[in-house]
Amino acid sequence: MTQWSGYFGLILQGALVTIELTLMGSVLALFMAFLAGMGRLSRFFVLRALATAYIEFFRGTSIFVQLFWAYFVLPFIGISLTPLQAGVLALGLNVGAYAAEVVRGAIQSIGREQYEACTALNLGRWQGMRHIILPQALLVMLPTFGNNAIELLKATAVVSLISLTDLTFQAQVVRAQTGNTLVPFTTILIIYFVLALLISWGVRSLERRMARGLDGVRA
């Protein structure tokens, strides 16, 4: 029994790496989501085209290939990333592409009458966006952002392939050293599930807090 405690320590270290990746990846994804999502609604063709190209490319290619590209191909053009940097980059850009469509959809779901009120009150484009449209759209985005964050958490498993010591990597180490598959993989299964639950709860309570006193924003 004593040997297991050491292995659990290993898996917990892996959990920390997974959490770190999820948090950093989510921050990048969120940033890209707003950048590209609002870019797609821009008045300027170049911004729209750039945003669309980014979204279609990163949705249309595999996260696995993107990760390998970031880690193994970028060095050939002189950009060497650590496994963590490559992981965050691939995860953030990939999930950000999905979330960008969420941002765009949510902004477009806000009724025309809110935009017209902004015009009638002489708010500038950005003022209206910042104070009127985005705060309402954010509430529409949140549930799907929760989905995206869970997708991102699960996708972190692929970084074990570029030697990052996340949960999945550590489970493989434990399996190799003990010959036991059931214990390490059941353990990380549970840990992934608990982490996903935490994200769900977090997003839901955020939603409740933001929805207070509102009507008409969500049917």
Partner 1 sequence: MPTPIIKIDAISKSFGTFKVLDGLSMQVMPGEKLALIGPSGSGKTTILRILMTLERIDGGHIQIDGEQLYHMERNGQLLPADERHLTRMRQKIGMVFQLFNLFPHKCVMDNVTLAPMLTKGTPRAAAEKRAMELLEMVGMADKAKSMPAQLSGGQKQRVAIARALALSPKIMLFDEVTSALDPELVEEVMNVMRKLAAETDMTMLLVTHEMGFAHDFADRVLFFDRGRIVEEGKPDEIFRNPKQERTQGFLKKIIAAGHRV
Stretch 113-132: interaction string toward partner 1, x if CB under 8 A: xx-xx-xxxxxx--x---xx
Is residue 74 within 8 A of residue 162, CB to CB? The reply is no
Q: How many residues does the chain have?
A: 219
In angstroms, how far is CA 168 from the centroid of its own chain? 19
Chain CA centroid to CA 64, Å: 15
Site string for partner 1, 55-94 (x = CB under 8 A): ----------------------------------------
Residue 89 or 137: which CB sits closer to partner 1? Answer: 137
DSSP for 51-110 reads HHHHHHHHHHS-HHHHHHIIIIIGGGGT----HHHHHHHHHHHHHHHHHHHHHHHHHHHS
Instruction: Based on the shown chain and the rule CB under 8 A, indicate whether residue 143 belongs to the binding site for partner 1.
Output: no
Question: How many residues make contact with partner 1 (CB under 8 A)?
Answer: 21
Q: By CB under 8 A, tell whether 213 contacts partner 1.
A: yes
* DSSP assignment letter at 129: I
* Region 158-197 residues binding partner 1, contact defined as CB under 8 A: none
Closest contact distance (angstroms) between CB of 130 and partner 1 is 9
- Scanning residues 87 to 116, which ones bind partner 1 (CB under 8 A)? 113-114, 116
Encoding tokens for residue 47? Answer: 């911004």
Q: Rounded to 5 degrees, what angle do the CA atoms 194, 170, 22 make?
A: 45
Q: Structure tokens of 216? A: 């008409």
**Which CB, 136 or 160, lies closer to partner 1?**
136
Identified binder of partner 1 from the candidate list 18, 22, 26, 136, rule CB under 8 A: 136
First to last CA, the chain: 55
Nearer CB in complex with partner 1: 60/124: 124
**Binding interface with partner 1 (CB under 8 A):** 113-114, 116-117, 119-124, 127, 131-132, 135-136, 139, 213-217
